[in-house]
Amino acid sequence: MPLPHLLQSLIGAKPPDRLRTGAEPPDRFASLGVYGFAKRELPILAALVTEDPLLLIGRSGTGKTYLLNSISEALGLEHRHYNASLISFDDLVGFPYPDDAKESVRFLQTPATIWGAESVLVDEISRCKPEHQNRLFSLVHERRIQGIALDTLRYRWAAMNPCTSDQGEGEEYLGSEPLDPALADRFSVIVDVGDWDELSTADRKRISNPAGEGLISNDGGALKKALAVWRQKFETKLESCAPKILDYACAVVTALGDGGIRISPRRSRLLTRTLLAAGIIDGGFKDKSFHAVLEASLPHRTWGDPPDTDKVLAAHRLAWDAAMLSGDEQWVHRFHLEHSLARKVRLLRDDCPGSDTGTLAVEQLLASEPKERAAAFALATYPAAIAGKLPIGAEGVNDLGRLAAKILSVDGEIEWQERLALEKTVAPEYTRIATVLKRLKGARLERARQLFYWCLIEKISVEIPKKFESDFNASVRAAGKR
C-alpha cells in the first residue's frame, strides 16, 4: 500500500510503495495514491467494468478530479480533461474547415480536442452553460459529437460540486446549478464523495502527507489487469443476465416508485448492468454490495432532490428478499412488493404456492396496509375466497369475512363543520366521492358506494378516489375470473 498522500485534485501527488499486511482489505485506489474512496470503491469499479458514464459529486478538495485523472494514468488511457464552465465547442472538436474537395467539413485537431480520446472527464459539469449541456448530452449518452461517432472513446466521466438546492451549511457553491434530469439520467453511476469527517485517522494522515507529489499513478498494471478479466466476464454474462439480478432490479424500481421515488425504465437497465458488474467484482451476490450500487444509481441529487435514505433502504430490503429468498418466502415478498391491489389478487389467484402461504400473505396485508386498502382487498376477494376460488385457508377467509361484513353492513353518521354564513352544506369528503360515484352504474356503483361510505364513517380520507375505485374494481374482476 502506498505511503500517505494528498487526496485533493489541487495537489497532484503520487507516493512511493510500501508493504501491505495480509490482514488489510484490498484498496485498489489506495494503490494509486488516492485515499478515502474505499467505501465507494465498488460502484466506481463497476462503472469502469461496464464503461457506462460515471459522475462524482462532492465538495471542493475531496479528490473527485484527482481520482479520475489517476485512474486514466493507471490504465494508460489517452485522456482529455475539460472544465465545463470554461469550455467552448471549438475546444472539443477543433476549428472547422472544408476539405480539399470542399464537399465536407473537417476539424483542425489539437492535443486538446476530443478526437482519439479513450477517456474524457468533464469537470464542473454543473457550471456548464445550457447550450453546452445539450452538446455534452450526445457525448455522455452516445459517444458522439456533432453526430460523429467517437470510436476510440471508452470512458465518460464527470464531476461536480453539490448544486445550489442541495448544499449544506458552511459552503455555498455559487453557479453550481441543478443538472437537467434528462442529462443526469444518462449517468449510470452517481457517487457522493465523502469529506474529512468520513475519513479514517490513517487516511487523514496519508492525505495530509505531501510526499510523492507530481508522480504518475502506477500500480504496476494491477487495476488494468483486473478490469480486463472483469470486462471479459461481464461481456460473456451480459447476454444471459442472472435472473436474480433482473428480479432485484425490477422489484427495487417498483418499490421505489411506490415510495414516490421515480426511476426511469432506462435507468433500470443501467442498474442491472452495474449490478452484474458488481457481482463479478465481488465474486457473487452480496446484500451490502447491492445496496451500495442502488444508492449510487439514483440521480436525484444532481438536480437537488436527494431521495429519502430510509425509503431507499426499505426498497432494497423488499427487493433483496423478493429476489434472493426461495420458495414460499419469496412469493410472500413478491406479493407485498406489488402496490396494485389488482396485481396482488392476480398473484394470489395464479401463482400462490398453497393455502397456508395465501393465508399468511392475506393476514400480513390486513395488518400492514392502510385501512382503506385493506378494506378494498377484503371486499374484493371475500366472495371468491369463500367460494374456494382463491388459495386461502379457513383462517384467512374468516379474517376477510370479518372486515367485509363491516363494510357491507355500514351504518353510522358523519360530521363536519359549517361556516356561520352557510347552511345545509355537504361534507367535503362526500363531495370528492360523489364525483366518482356519479360515473358508475349497476353492481360496480353499489360496491363502490359501500366501500366509500364505510371510509366516510371511519373518517378515512382517500387520497385519489378515482384511482382507488379503479384499482378496487380491477381487483373484483380479477378475483372472480377463476
Average pLDDT estimate for 368-392: 95
Hey, what's the cell of 206? 496519508
Rounded Cα gap, residues 454 and 345, in angstroms: 22
pLDDT in tens, 69-80: 999 999 999 999
Rounded Cα gap, residues 71 and 76, in angstroms: 8
At residue 313, the pLDDT reads: 93
The more confident residue out of 89 and 166 is 89
Query: Percentage of residues in the chain with pLDDT exceeding 90?
Result: 60
At residue 427, the pLDDT reads: 56
Q: How confident is the model at residue 415 (pLDDT cuts 50, 70, 90)?
A: low
> Are 271 and 47 a contacting pair, CB within 8 Å?
no
Maximal C-alpha separation, the chain: 90
Q: How many CA atoms lie within 13 A of 337 on its CB side?
A: 27
Q: How confident is the model at residue 166 (pLDDT cuts 50, 70, 90)?
A: low
On the question of pLDDT at 445 being above 80, the answer is yes
At residue 419, the pLDDT reads: 54
- pTM for the model stands at 0.77
User: What is the Cα Rg of the chain in Å?
Assistant: 29
Q: Roughly how many angstroms between the first and final C-alpha of the chain, as a whole number?
A: 65
pLDDT in tens, 85-117: 887 777 788 777 777 777 777 777 778 889 999
Q: How confident is the model at residue 22 (pLDDT cuts 50, 70, 90)?
A: very low
Average pLDDT estimate for 296-317: 93
> Which domains are delineated in the chain?
30-238 (3.40.50.300), 326-482 (no CATH)
Hey, what's the cell of 308? 429519502
At residue 224, the pLDDT reads: 96
Rounded Cα gap, residues 195 and 9, in angstroms: 13
> Are 293 and 43 a contacting pair, CB within 8 Å?
yes
pLDDT in tens, 389-414: 999 999 999 999 999 999 998 765 55
Rounded Cα gap, residues 317 and 315, in angstroms: 5
Give the mean pLDDT of the chain.
Answer: 86
On the question of pLDDT at 12 being above 50, the answer is no
The more confident residue out of 212 and 64 is 64
